Amino acid sequence: MTAFAAFALRPGMAGAKDYIDLEWTDLVPEGQAAIPPFIQGLIQHDGPSLSSQQPPSKGVRTEWNGEIVRLPGFIVPIDYSGTGVTAFILVPFVGACVHVPPPPANQLVFVTTEKPYESSGMFEPVNVIGMFGTASTSTQLADIAYALSADHIEPF
């Protein structure tokens, strides 16, 4: 039996990955901190809106434009269809954009999906696989530097 035939008999075995695994640190230009330390763990409910406290973004990375990637993160829902989320901000840590100021735009990804994702709620940890690119988007929660058209969303 050839090696190819062995793979054909085991459909659960995948060949080469068909996506690039990205981490949040991959999204910031070389030499920049991924998440400014003053944002991590900061919870300030009184004062100006959180979006007005968003630090400036210092560039984006374009190496993965048009590539299929997988990125882990947490869901901040933006739009629904029925009970499923169809658009959300993928954030690198729990609380981003809602309980703490948003990270810089180059640490946020605007995700859209044709098939609504039945999220278990705010800040659900997920892996998102789909076409990635730079795309400046502004919401009432934050400015966003990247976009991902999701083909597959799964719990993390």
Residue 103 or residue 47, greater confidence: 103
Which residue, chain included where needed, has tokens 């944002």?
A: 39
pLDDT tens digits along 39-76: 444 444 455 555 566 888 788 999 999 999 999 999 99
Q: Which one has a higher pLDDT value, 16 or 153?
A: 153
- pLDDT for residue 33: 65
Give strand pairing partners of 143.
138
Q: What does the alpha-carbon distance between residue 84 and residue 51 come to, in Å, rounded to a whole number? A: 25
The reported pLDDT for the residue numbered 58 is: 81
**Segment 9-23, tens digit of pLDDT:** 334 444 467 999 999
Task: Note the pLDDT tens digit of each residue in 127-146.
Answer: 999 999 999 999 989 999 99
Distance between CA 39 and CA 95 in Å, rounded?
A: 10
Pick 34 or 27 by higher pLDDT: 27
CB 120 within 8 A of CB 153: no
CA distance 40 to 36: 7
Q: What does the pLDDT read at residue 106?
A: 94
Confidence of residue 100 (pLDDT cuts 50, 70, 90): confident
CB 145 within 8 A of CB 105: yes
Residue 121, pLDDT score: 77
Cβ neighbours for 73, distance < 8 A, ≥ 6 positions apart: 24, 90, 91, 92, 109, 125, 126, 128
